[in-house]
């Protein structure tokens, strides 16, 4: 009975551990960039894959700079080329990568981008600078991010 429960638990754990599909050996043919970062989020974007049949993009993140521990954090449909990570912690550094997925497999990881999430104090300094230097456009753009 114990072995049956252990096997069932293992199967369930494997089923829910990662929604990632098998990786195709083809190179990722798109480029990932960081659009903006605030104390609450990191906005990513990438060029659309040149491969046909892309149904989704999967986004991965690792703590620090490097891809040793990349973990799946989200997915968008195949026509969307942006993702906002709202789980990033203020002041922490993360490395991001994306895969393009078709019906059965995903590409290898895109290029990797490392970013340190903006701290509230950095944003406060920017607001003070923009207000002191009378830069209303800079303030509006910062608030829109």
Architecture of domain 21-118: Sandwich (2.60)
- Structural domain boundaries in the chain: 21-118
Residues 88-118: pLDDT tens digits? 998 899 999 999 999 889 999 999 999 999 8
Whether pTM exceeds 0.85: no
Q: Which residues pair with 95 in a beta bridge?
A: 62, 114
């Amino acid at each position: 009975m114990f072995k049956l429960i252990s096997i069932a638990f293992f199967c369930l754990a494997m089923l829910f551990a990662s929604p990632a599909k098998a990786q195709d050996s083809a190179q990722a043919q798109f480029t990932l960039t960081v659009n903006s970062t605030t104390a609450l989020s990191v906005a990513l974007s990438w060029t659309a894959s040149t491969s046909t049949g892309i149904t989704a993009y999967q986004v991965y993140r690792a703590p620090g700079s490097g891809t040793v521990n990349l973990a799946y954090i989200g997915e968008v449909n195949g026509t969307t080329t942006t993702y906002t990570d709202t789980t990033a912690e203020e002041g922490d550094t993360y490395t991001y990568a994306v895969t393009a997925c078709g019906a059965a497999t995903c590409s290898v990881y895109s290029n990797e981008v490392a970013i340190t999430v903006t701290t509230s104090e950095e944003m406060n300094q920017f607001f003070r600078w923009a207000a002191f230097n009378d830069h209303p456009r800079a303030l509006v753009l910062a608030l829109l991010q």
